[in-house]
Amino acid sequence: MKKILVTGALGQIGSELVMKLRNIYGDNNVVASSRSREGNADVIESGPFEIVDVTDGKQIVEAVRKHNVDSIIHLAAILSATGEEKPHLLWNVNMNGLYYVLEVARESKCAVFTPSSIAAFGPSTPKNKTPQDTIQRPNTIYGVSKVSGELLCDYYHEKFGVDTRGVRYPGLISYAALPGGGTTDYAVHIYYEALRSKKFTCNIKEGTKMDMMYMPDALDAVVQLMEANPDNLRHRNAFNITAMSFGPEEIYREIKKHIPEFEMDYKVDPIKQKIADSWPDSLDDSAAREEWGWNPKYDLTSMTIDMLEKLRRKLNL
Ligand code: NAD
Ligand code: AKB
């Protein structure tokens, strides 16, 4: 990667990924973009920034040509919970957006990174140690867009030689930007409320295990996979990756070790619960480990220590 365009750059991942990429590849070589200028000022001001609405293919073409882009990190998307409220919007952003990105990449010979998700699996997928290659029949519009996206990316690689790569991210936990309308968002909000009000009402039922990951590992995955030797990649779109798997009661107990007065109760959101129940309990990420050396650094214990320390500083507590 030499000249990188990041779409959806002001979201949960983009806010941190752009800064990391600028550190590695140089401020001027990472073009952040979003459909508006609302969001993290550091991302907008520390390097080139363009307004790009991914549902308008021309705007992507213009940004790629103007900056001589060779790699597109495509993060603009609608996530699972918002998607169930606005399925038509989701289809337009997630599918048309990806199609336009792939078309630009085909014409301008760009590499493309597109995150898939644990949402690409569904109720009939094996739940434990979910294999890399297995049944993918999701029952959410988000999941349908993720499976379709994986297939479209593979198609563009096989048919047109576009260097497409991707991972199936689990729920991501971070302190810099809030999550954007997903089912795993509770695992971020719980840290804020543990510090602020010492009370948290969880919208996901006790015992609901989902894969999760701390943001530094998620960012490393992008760089490692995009820099991996293509000869070693038997899979491309998209690799299972995970760092930990837990239910709400386990993250609660871990936080309580540091904040003994912290209390949690439950008010289950039926839509989010249905989505969570359809996803795996834990992924098998051995293909990523074998093909490009995936090896996450954080588990629940080390993530919790770091999250609480960073959030205390951010919230001036
Ligand atoms: P996010 O919602 O925080 O950020 C997405 C950004 O895209 C937002 O800033 C939004 O304003 C922008 N956007 C929406 N519509 C747009 C449009 N038409 N044009 C341009 N920008 C638009 O999401 P995120 O968590 O940063 O996720 C990025 C990618 O990673 C998505 O593909 C998501 O499905 C995937 N992913 C995220 C997680 C997670 O836990 N965060 C897990 C699995 C997969
Ligand atoms: C969501 O909950 O929608 C995302 C995801 C796992 O894809 N965090």
Q: What is the pLDDT of residues 188-211, one digit of tens each?
A: 999 999 999 999 999 999 999 999
115 lines ligand 2 (CB under 6 A): no
In what side-by-side order are the strands of the sheet with 239-240?
A: 116-117, 167-169, 239-240
Which atom belonging to ligand 2 lies closest to the Cα atom of 184? Answer: 2
Question: Does the CB atom of residue 184 touch ligand 2 within 6 A?
Answer: yes
Per-residue pLDDT tens over the stretch 119-173: 999 999 999 999 999 999 999 999 999 999 999 999 999 999 999 999 999 999 9
- Give strand pairing partners of 214: 173
Closest residue by Cα to atom 6, ligand 2, is 171
- What percent of the chain is predicted at pLDDT more than 70? 100
Say yes or no: CB of residue 8 within 6 Å of ligand 1: yes
Question: Would you state the pLDDT for residue 180?
Answer: 87
Determine the longest span between alpha carbons in the chain, in angstroms. 58
Give me ligand 2 centre to Cα 275, in Å: 10
CA of residue 183 to ligand 2 center, whole Å: 6
Give the HSE-up count for residue 190: Cα atoms under 13 Å, Cβ half-sphere. Answer: 26
pLDDT of residue 39: 86
- What digits encode the pLDDT tens for the residues 20-49? 999 999 999 999 999 999 988 999 999 999
The pTM is what? 0.97
- Structural domains in the chain, CATH included, are 4-170+215-240 (3.40.50.720), 172-212+244-281+298-314 (3.90.25)
| Average pLDDT of the residues in 255-277 | 98
- Residue 93 alpha carbon to ligand 1 centre in Å: 10
Measured CA to CA in angstroms, residue 139 lies from 65, 73, 216 at distances of 38, 26, 30
Task: Name 195's Cβ contacts closer than 8 Å, sequence gap at least 6.
Answer: 259, 308, 311, 312, 315, 317
Atom of ligand 1 nearest to the CA of 171: 40
Q: Give pLDDT tens digits for 231-245.
A: 999 999 999 999 999
Ligand 1 pocket, mutate which of 35, 92, 113, 283 (most atoms under 8 A from CB): 35
For residue 172, which ligand has an atom nearest its CA? 1
Residue 307 has pLDDT above 90, yes or no: yes
Give the model confidence (pLDDT) of 68-81 as tens digits: 999 999 999 999 99
